[in-house]
Each structure stands twice: as C-alpha cells, then as structure tokens.
Structure 1
C-alpha cells in the first residue's frame, strides 16, 4: 500500500490500532496430483501414472471392503440371530423358562489378538444391529470409562443422544449447553428406563381408533438395548461388576443385552467377574476366524489374482507376511501394506492425514504409506503397469527417454542377447520396432499372469493333501517358492511327486476334479486346452471301474515262485527262487490304473514346468513388480529412539528453518527448548543436577534473545524461562531420556549413552 494512502486511511481524531490485511494472493492448496508430480521421475507421463493410481486404488478399495464384509459375515450373522432370539424370547411367555428373570443375555465375541481390526468389526456389527434388530446400540471403550459414573454417562449419551449430568456442577453446565437443544438427563438407569418407555410407547402407538390385538410384551416393537464393550480386558473389573449388578435390577423393566469383545480367552470373564456377578449373565460364546485364516483369504483374493496388474516381489511379500505374523496380526494393516506396495496410498485420506492419526493406528503402516509410493512415483515405466488394452496404448506414447530406460532393463537385455544380430541392432536403434516388440512382450506378460495363478492353485491342491506338506501348507508358501526359483527344480517338489504316485484312485480322482474346477472359469486358450486334457483323464479313470467290473479276476499260477517257497528246498534252490522273484518284480507289468496315474502326474508336471517359472524370467517384469525389499524393511523396522535423537540433534531436518542450520554436533540457540535441553543433558554424567541444568539453559536462551552477555540480566532465571525449562524436562522424561531418582532429590538420572 502507498504511504500516502496509509496515512489517509489511518487519520483519526482518536488514537487506535489499525490492521491491514495483506493483499497477496491466497496460498494455493496443493492437490493430490500436485503432491504426486512434485519431484516425480519422468514428469512427462506423471499425469497418466496418477490416473492409473487413482483407478486402481478405487478398485482395490472396493474389493477390500467386500472382502472384509465376507470375512465377518458368518460371525455377524450369528450375533444377529442371537440378538433376535433373545429379544423374541423376552417378548413371549417362555422368557422365564429359558433364563432367569435377572439374567442379562450376553454374547462373548472372541476376536483374537489382531486388535487393530476390532474397530472395523464392531462398526459393522453396530450398523447391522441398527438396521435389522434395534436402533438402541451403544459402544464403549475402557479408556473413556475409568469410573462407574463415566461408564453410565457414555452409555446414556449414546443411547439418548443428549447431555447427561453426573453431578451438580456438570448438571449446571449441561443445562447451559443443552438449553437450546435438549433437557439434561440424570445419570441413572431409571432415567434410561423412562426414556425407553416413552420411546417404545410412541412407536407402539397405532392408528387412532384401532385397538391393539396383543399386550405390550408380545409386541415386536420393543427392541432390545444393546451395549457393546469393545475391549473387555481393559475395563476396570470393579467398574464392570458394579455396572452389571445395577443392570440386573432393571432387567425386568429394560431389555438389556451385552456384547463383550474379547481378544485373549473366554476365561477372561471368570477372571474379571466373581461368580456372584457372572451368574447374572446368560453367556453365549462366538468365535471369529483366526487372523491366519483372515490372512490366507486376503492373499487368495487380493494378491493371487491377475485382476491387478501390479505384483509384489518374493522378498517384499516375505517382509509383509513376517510383519503380520510376528508383530500385530492385523489384517487391516496388512491390507494397507499391500495397497501402498501397489502405489495407491497417495489417493487415500489416510495418506493425507497420516501424521495426524498415527497415534490411532500402527506407525509402521504410516511409514509404509509414505515410503512405498515409490513404484508409481519414481518408476517412469510404471505407466505400463495397467490392464492390457491400456498398456498397449501407452506403449505407443512412450517418449525417447522411456524407450532408453526399457533398453536398460536387465530382463530386456537378456531378451536381446537371445536374438539374432540384426534383430539386436533393430531393437537398439529403431524406436518404432522397439514399440512393436514391447507390445508383444506386454501381451506375453499378461498371459503369464493369467496362466500362473490357476496352475499355482492346482499344484497347491495336490501338495496340500500330502503328509508333512513338503511345499507348504498355505498357498502363500508355495507362491513364495515359485517366485524365488523354478519349483520344478526343487528337491521337495520331486519327493512330493513320488508321494503323489502312492495315492489311491479315489483320492487322486477327487484332487483332479478340484483342479478341473479351478481351471473351469479361466478364459485362456492354454488353460482351456489343459481343462480338456484333464477332463479326458477323469473320464478314463471312471472307465477303469467299468473295465474292472467286466474282467474276471485271474488266479495266480500254482507254479509261481511264491508257491515254490512252500516246498522243501536247499539253500541253492532258495537263492535261485528269490532271484526269480526279484526279476519278476522288476519286469512286472503296470496295471491300467498305474499307467493312467503316471500319465496324469506327467500332465501336471508339464503344466508346472510351462507356467510356474519365476517372474524374473519374464521380459519387462520390472514394470509391474515392486522389488525394493530394502526400502520396505527400512521403513517397517522402525527405530523410534534413533529417529527421536536425530530430530533433537538436528531439528533443521524436520523444521526446515534456515536459522537452525548449524555445523555437525552443535545445536542453534534458536532451536526449540527440548532440543536445547537435550543437547545440554548430553554434556552431563549419569546424574544431572537440575539447578545447574536450568542455569545452562537460561544462558543459552538469553543468547538466543540477543541480550548483552555483560549485562546483569544475562542468564537470569525468569518465571517464563523456568516454565519453559520444566516443560522441556517433562517432555524428555516422557520420551524416556531421563527419570527421577531417589539418590538425590534435586537430580535426575540419565537413561541414554549419548547422541544418535
């Protein structure tokens, strides 16, 4: 603004404070596409890659939600039937005959130790209950119910939908808060009973002038009141006991039902509740699928399919599975890991608010989502990681730079080495010819995936029927073996094929029929041809029974070597007879079943050798396989203490403030208080004198404020500095760098050896 205009705008009779809003343009908010293209390798096709990410993310997100519903459907349907049965029993005359009047129907839901998945299950359960059973559902967690009054308050607020007053002070505050909305309600179950009676009476009021044909207790319009305890083990046992005792007094007036979410064992109820309290509950146990069964389903539906063009390297898969099996057992976190491996996390709101919600989830998942966008973000050739039609179209739009990157791929170099000399020259010099060849290679890559997964499932069906599971019990174990090397060259594979030759006819027929069911829906020429051959083999097996029934059994000849052993003979004659028996066994003619069995196993072996080669053997596999296992391991195997020490030692790396730039090993006096306190505590021994620490901190802060070192006020401990120091020390104690000690009252003990 011009100075003259400023003076005119501020001219006034009275003195005052004038505020001028900056005339600069509003700060532009970066979109998801801007975040994706910022620093992106190969910016010329970044928009296409972003759109591919978006489309694929929408597809996998939809499939994930459907899969989760399928996994929880059985247990949720059982719980819904239980609530309906209890509600119907209470409303009819057989209530007293099936359970005592003081018993509260309770469902003990065993969900396993995969705690991060429980919220999603309870949310689905609440939605289904409200849709088909009762609108009165309240879910509570232990962290918000430390005392009985808090538990009662949370339940009443979520059922009634109004402010609940616990004591006189809260009642006054509640009246002020809800003056314009609702009247405050006292925190008691009698208030809930009054509300429920008014609610059901209003719902049961029929058409004016029409008499009711049945009493109120027979009316289905009296839905139960369901209370869900999400994490039963974390609740205070005394609070839970008192609440159950109170509820048992109101069970005749209020149709209460409990659902206990249990992560460990059903015996938790007996450990938390004495018999006098647990006898007031009519408990029925519900067991959900184990986390390993969930994992097997997730891998089967989301990974072992050619529907998604992007795939995971064996080492990356192994890291994700290890994290699942040895850390959190969370299917939800595993799915997020798979999603971010495929490069879709940038489009999920979870990625945008990653740091804001990292306290609610697993922090390593946040790191995966922030780190493993790398494939689509840093790999320009990921533009070919899409469905076949799109990929063939994108090949024609590749730039000169993209074609040079294709020529540098290891798999493409191996392909070129196998070609004739003139073809090699054309591939390295003629861009048009290279695009034509790339289209053919992309088609072959999609055919490979289309044939790989059906044959993998067929082989797993055969191998999982063998004792000790030579190639793994789960299909994911066989998949990892096939990703690493040719499974046909594996010693366990050869031993497994020998075991298959020992199967009975009925067992082998059943396994071959299951293989035919796997190949049936596959739309591939090779798989259709394989299905025809497999069906022919099954027909031949069935014809064996007909031939065996028509052919009479042939009796053994009396003059056989076995009969000769029954006669008296000398040692020479015995040796001669045994040699004849051995020769007869070697030259024994195979039965029709054995010939057909060998033919079937040879057919399976040919399928394995043709279609289960590792992905590294396919040309251009790099465009759709993420293989940076080192990046995965570095981000997933988090080291929080080292990260915190690095942040406290070098705050500029995180804050990006030029005033914080310093030489190595030093901290600017303008750094945050916790960084200054941390640096000073590194200069102390095992025990730190708090007063000396405070004085050193005050001197550093005074220098940051620009005070004269020779003045009397320099380094003086003022109230504000004292408070800032106390806060910094408290934060260091919370992070685990120091702790209070009983050796000296004015000292703290240091818990670290030094910097990072």
Structure 2
C-alpha cells in the first residue's frame, strides 16, 4: 500500500476483515457437557420460555407502576395548570420562584431504581412532555457539569461549559451553546414558539401531542448522593427564572424524605413545593413476582425448595433487588436446561408429549436413571418392570402418562395452596407464615401436614368465627373457580354446599341456660350453695353437646385438611419431577453468593483446580516446585506463626524452587532471580491482604490470616 501526499503524515491501513467461522449458540450451550444430545432444541426451548417469562415480568412491572405514574402525572398536571394561571394572571400570582418537586420514595433496592426511572421517562415522554432529563450524582460533581448535562440532554447538542455567556441562541447552528440559564430560557422560548418555518415543522409536530406548553421535568435519580452545594446552587438559580418556563423536579429517594431537609437549608427548601409519592414495597413486589412466575402452572419450569430459599435469602439479606431475583431465576433456568438432558421435555404438555415420541434410546436410558422413575418402577409388578426397563416404546407411552400426571399435579397444587394460605395467613403468630412463599417452601420441603406448625395452625382454624369462616370459604371458591381446573370441580360444589349450610343455619342461643343459672346465683343464697352452683355450671359446659355451627365448622376444617393431604404432596413424590424442577442449590449459590476468600485460598493452595495443568497435580499438603511462585510462598506462609521471618521465608522458597531449576550458569545469577521472584510473590500476598509490614521487627512481616483459609 502507498499513498501520495505533499505533506508528511501517518496513515493507518485497517486489515481486511476475515469472516471467522462462528459456532452456533447451541454449541456454546452444550460445551463441556458430556451429554450434548438435543442441545440445540434444549437451548431454543429455554430461550422461548424465557421470552414468555420476560414478557410477563415486564407487563407485571408496568401494572405495578401504573398507579404511581398516574399520581405523578396528576401532580404534573396540577403544577402545569398553576403555571398557566400565573402566566395569564401574573398580578394574583402565588410565589414566582416556587418550583414543584415530587419526592419519589423508592426504597433501599437501589439496583431496581434504574428500571423504574426508565419506565417513568418513557411514560412522560409519550404522554406529557418530550423534555425529560435524568441526572446522576457521579455525572454532576459541580454546578457547571450539572447545567452542561441538563442542556445537553434537552437540546441534543454539544455544550461548551466555558463559552461566554453573551453567545446568542442564534449561533447554536454550529452545535455549540453557552452553558447558562439564560440560554436555557432562550432555547425554551424559541422551541415552543409557533412558527411556520420548515426547520420547526418537525419540532411542532412532536410538541403537538404533548401538553401546551410542555413542562421540563428534571429527574435526580439518587438525590442522597448529590453534593449539597450543587443542589442548593441549582435550585436557587432555577427559581429565579421559573416564571419563564414550567420546570418540575423529581427526586429519587432511597431512604427517607427527611433527607431533603438535611441536604437543603430552609431558605432553599422553601423554594420547593414538595409532594411525597411512595412506590410499592420491594417485599410486596417480590411476592407479586413469585405469585406470577412460580405459583402458576403457566410456566413448566419450577424451582425446588432449596433453590428458592437461596434466591429469597439473597434478596432479604443482601440487596432487596427484585431484578436480581429475576436474574437468579434466569440463571436457574439456563443451568437446568444446560445440565439436565431431559429438560427437553420441560415445555407445554402437548409439545412434551410430541417430543417423547422422538426420544432416542440414550434419552430413554436417561429416564430410566432418574431416581423418581426408579421408585415408580419398583412399585410395579415384575412383568411391568421388565417391559419398562427393556422396551423403549412402552417406556415412551408410560412417560406421556406420567407427564400428564405431573401437569395435573401442578394444576391442582397451586389452587389448594392458595386456599390453605387463605385459612392460615390471618392466624395469630402465623404458624405457617404470613407470605404465601413461606407456605410454598414448607410444602416443597416435606409433607406439610406432618409438621407441628400445621397442627397448631389447624387448632386455631377450628376456632374461627362464623363471619371469618364464611369470608374465607367465599375466597376459596373464587380461587378454585379462577384456576379453571377440571379436577377440582367437585371441591367447588362442596364448598358452595357448606356456604349454603352456613346461610341456612339458625344461630343457636346458648345464653338461655347461662342466664337462668345467673338468675339462680343472684337469688339469696349462702357461700356453699353458690360454690355448688358454679361447679354444676362448669361441669355442664364440659359435657355439653356441640352446636350445629361447631359441628359444621369441624366438618369444613376436616374437608380442607383432606384437600391438603391429597394435593399438596411435595414434588419429590411425583414421577419425572426432575424434568421440570431445578434443584442444584449449591451451583446457584456459587454463582450468586460468591465467597472470594475461599476462592482465593483454593487457587493458591490447589492451583490445579483452576489451571488444570497435570504437572500441578500433587498430593494434598505437598508443595509442588512447578506451582506458581505465589502459591509456593502462600503454602510456606501457612506454616508460620503470627510473625514471619523474611530471611527464613526466602530460604524455604529458594529450597523449593531450586529443586526443579538446576540450569543456572552461575550461582549469583540464580540467587538474584530467585530473590526477585520471591519479592514479587510477597508483594502479591501483601496486595491480597495476607501479610503486612510490621514495626516490631524490621526483617519480619505480620500474618493477617489464621488457619488454612
């Protein structure tokens, strides 16, 4: 290549792009997996299933935010109408420098705030105004940078913060504008002015579907992190020109609305007209997500009790982030389809029955190796066992029936679970948990009716009042009716029959006998007769017969107990449950709940675990001379006490290293190289936090860890 140029220069010639042969995504999906059969189909199934789940979560997020966004738009509309009144009748204005501000309390789940603000910006830009600005504290260390970001997002042009303030708006054609409030007001006045010029046709078309005039909404995503001086200066500056264009602040707050008064003095906060808005609690949001994703038969993929508990514990004890919970759910889904060959059957019932017909002999053997299928075969007759273990066609027919049973199990499980939660969620001390996810975990773990909490809960249920019992029964009828399951049709009829009996039941008046006894007590009598009468009343209460209501109440409770025993068995009792349930809680915990200290210790103590070099494979406790220098130094430092003598440490290090390296031509050269390698290894250990210099002895370092990890 050559170039002809009068002047000297540097020319860069990019190489021609060579198309590399890229493997399919399914190949990456099955990479490292011994059983890669149907990998592409498994990957496609997981992707289509996740698309459905994503669509459901997005719709759920939109529904949950709808009420909050409607209230915010109502607040904006009110502020906008006040501005128009001040524009038309300025003589009877309220406060010319008062800025409407919405304090949006979002909670401590900071990682979810971005999604909320993104949805809020989209809603405002679609229905209210095209002028929506989102600011972060890290982008606005000073007032100059804040104005620069504000004007850049509003105008969509490069803003020079150091340009002279006298620059007119007409010079903005060169995509440069001064960073000042005066230029901002000039820009807003020109952009909203109705002109017939062709250059503003597109702008007027955009503004025509929004409010007139459109307000400017400034969102402070993390108000707590903004510098106090920056907020104060910006509010004071904007308050002086608020009469020229409608401006609204939205403060994103994670802690408490009192932070506004902590950051801003009264002289500044008095310039704001603040109204509070509370978003949905993150715990309520999680309950709704679990209800829509896990407690439904709509999606075939399920989580075991231990996996679900890992995700819930990370949520409750780490970040309160619903989005991280959903990402953990996605990771579980991918891990299940990656590690389980039979996950190809984890799809809708009709599709799974079709796929069973085309299973290979290897996949049939995978079915026979499932623990649940082994238990199923052991309970069959000998002839049936022989056929299922040898004939693939018979196995496929039986697998179709078992998948149908598993689908029916899920259709019946979730309605009965909700009914049981309706009975136990309002009991004192919540024996089976207040949230339905707690009850779900209890049912997944074991047979819930065999627990002490279940017994104590049903003892309290047997004491429910008539009004409470009728309300719960009506709720159960609604739950089962909305589930549209055919198997529970008889349950609906039975519950409606109980409701009719309660309605027709005449309240028995048990107070007559008590009243007559009280009359006898009130008669003139001595202490002996009074004591005798009270003992007789107590005995009669103990031996009295149950009323009709109490008998009917016991009958209802026994019926609910029979439903629980019939339909709330743990999934391990269902054959082929491994196809749909992900139970590798340890794998999920390793990915999501990292333990860096353990990982570093494993890497330094057993480098073969990560490097997979056979030369590093040695007996436990031995120090291999082929290991990296930092691993050798680390193992040697484990044999020392609190203070480590650097000279002794160097001699031990040199002894281990020279056992493999005998090719040095000169002894001095060997010592210099080993000394340099030792210094680097010690520096790396100090950087990782295992040792530190000490002033007690100049030739020693202090050990910061103790034990083997």
TM-score, normalisation: structure 2: 0.81
Structure 2 unpaired stretches of 5+:
3-11, 201-209
- Shift in Å at residue 735 of structure 1? 6.1
Distance verdict in 2 for CA 1:711–1:271, change over 3 Å: same
CA distance in 2, matches of 1:652, 1:710: 31
1:241 aligns with 2:232: yes
C-alpha distance after superposition, 1:574-598 (max 9, x if no partner): 8886776566445534333223222
2:306–2:585 contact (8 Å) kept in structure 1: yes
Distance verdict in 2 for CA 1:204–1:138, change over 3 Å: farther
1:40–1:46 contact (8 Å) kept in structure 2: no
- Shift in Å at residue 261 of structure 1? 0.6
Range with bigger deviation, 414-423 or 122-131? 414-423
1:538 aligns with 2:499: yes
1:615 aligns with 2:571: yes
1:167 aligns with 2:162: yes
2:396 to 403, 427, 435: 435
Distance verdict in 2 for CA 1:508–1:46, change over 3 Å: same
Range with bigger deviation, 383-392 or 496-505? 496-505
Aligned to 2:547: 591
Aligned to 1:158: 153
Aligned to 1:389: 350
1:186 aligns with 2:178: yes
Instruction: Give the CA RMSD over aligned residues.
Output: 4.6
- Shift in Å at residue 170 of structure 1? 14
1:451 aligns with 2:419: no
Distance verdict in 2 for CA 1:500–1:676, change over 3 Å: closer
1:142 aligns with 2:137: yes
2:189 to 197, 200, 213: 197
1:320 aligns with 2:311: yes
Q: Superposition pairs for residues 355-394 of structure 1, below 5 Å?
A: 373=335, 375-394=336-355
2:213 to 219, 222, 243: 222
C-alpha distance after superposition, 1:681-711 (max 9, x if no partner): 999997999xxx9xx9xxx9xxx9x998799
- Shift in Å at residue 490 of structure 1? 2.1
1:304 aligns with 2:295: yes
Distance verdict in 2 for CA 1:337–1:98, change over 3 Å: farther
Distance verdict in 2 for CA 1:400–1:79, change over 3 Å: same
2:98–2:273 contact (8 Å) kept in structure 1: yes
Aligned to 1:89: 82
Aligned to 1:113: 108
- Shift in Å at residue 113 of structure 1? 0.5
1:605 aligns with 2:596: no
2:118 to 108, 120, 123: 123
Distance verdict in 2 for CA 1:79–1:205, change over 3 Å: farther
TM-score, normalisation: structure 1: 0.77
Range with bigger deviation, 39-48 or 390-399? 39-48
- Shift in Å at residue 66 of structure 1? 0.9
- Shift in Å at residue 116 of structure 1? 0.5
Aligned to 1:254: 245
2:99 to 99, 104, 111: 104
C-alpha distance after superposition, 1:438-496 (max 9, x if no partner): 21111111100000000000110111122221211000011111111112222222222
- Shift in Å at residue 743 of structure 1? 10
Aligned to 1:30: 23
CA distance in 1, matches of 2:279, 2:142: 30
Aligned to 1:470: 431
- Shift in Å at residue 645 of structure 1? 6.3
CA distance in 1, matches of 2:539, 2:280: 56
CA distance in 2, matches of 1:192, 1:391: 61
1:203–1:221 contact (8 Å) kept in structure 2: no
Size of the aligned set, in residue pairs, is 667
Distance verdict in 2 for CA 1:582–1:749, change over 3 Å: closer
CA distance in 1, matches of 2:288, 2:599: 35
Distance verdict in 2 for CA 1:380–1:670, change over 3 Å: closer
CA distance in 2, matches of 1:96, 1:299: 56
1:109–1:262 contact (8 Å) kept in structure 2: yes
1:740–1:749 contact (8 Å) kept in structure 2: yes
2:163–2:178 contact (8 Å) kept in structure 1: no
> SS where residue 175 of structure 2 aligns?
coil
- Shift in Å at residue 306 of structure 1? 0.8
CA distance in 1, matches of 2:236, 2:582: 57
Q: Superposition pairs for residues 287-302 of structure 1, below 5 Å?
A: 287-302=278-293
